[in-house]
Amino acid sequence: MKTVITYGTFDLFHVGHVKLLRRLRGLGDRLVIGLSTDEFNLGKGKKTVVPYEQREEILRAVRYVDDVFPEACWEQKAEDIRREQASIFAMGDDWAGKFDHLSEFVEVIYLPRTAGISTTDLKQVMQGLRDERVDSVRHALDHARMLLDELAKLG
């Protein structure tokens, strides 16, 4: 049995995640995921929208995924590879070269990302919508202040 191991945050789960998981599973018979904990993400300067427990539940519901375990630090990968008896370590190509040192334990593969979608893009869109909403409320408040000032002048 050939086990594939990967790691990630999988926040705001989207079609790019599904396509990556399908390709990863196609590399072997079993796919296991080290899911970055909320605390580990904070240490990396990332704040997740969806909490760990929910991200784990989503991943476990995906038919390509056989198991999920917490990723709490960078250094755990070699031990995880041994424990899971992984044959392949695979990541998106945005990590190309960063995990080559693991090739002494396992075959290391970097897969191309799905074009046109990323969690970062989704977060930017959400921030843009939030900014528009704040601007709209500010505009309404400014208009209300102006009306109150006019009413005060009349009274």
Among candidates 2, 1, 63, 60, which has minimal Cα distance to 27? Answer: 2
Give the Cβ contact number of residue 103 at 10 Å.
10
The two tokens of residue 41 are 């993400």
Handedness of CA 150, 153, 154, 155 (dihedral sign): positive
Catalytic center residues: 44, 46
Among candidates 63, 65, 105, which has minimal Cα distance to 82? Answer: 105
Q: Please name the residues in contact with 23: beta carbons below 8 A apart, sequence gap of 6 or more.
A: 111
Cβ atoms of 67 and 33 closer than 8 Å? yes
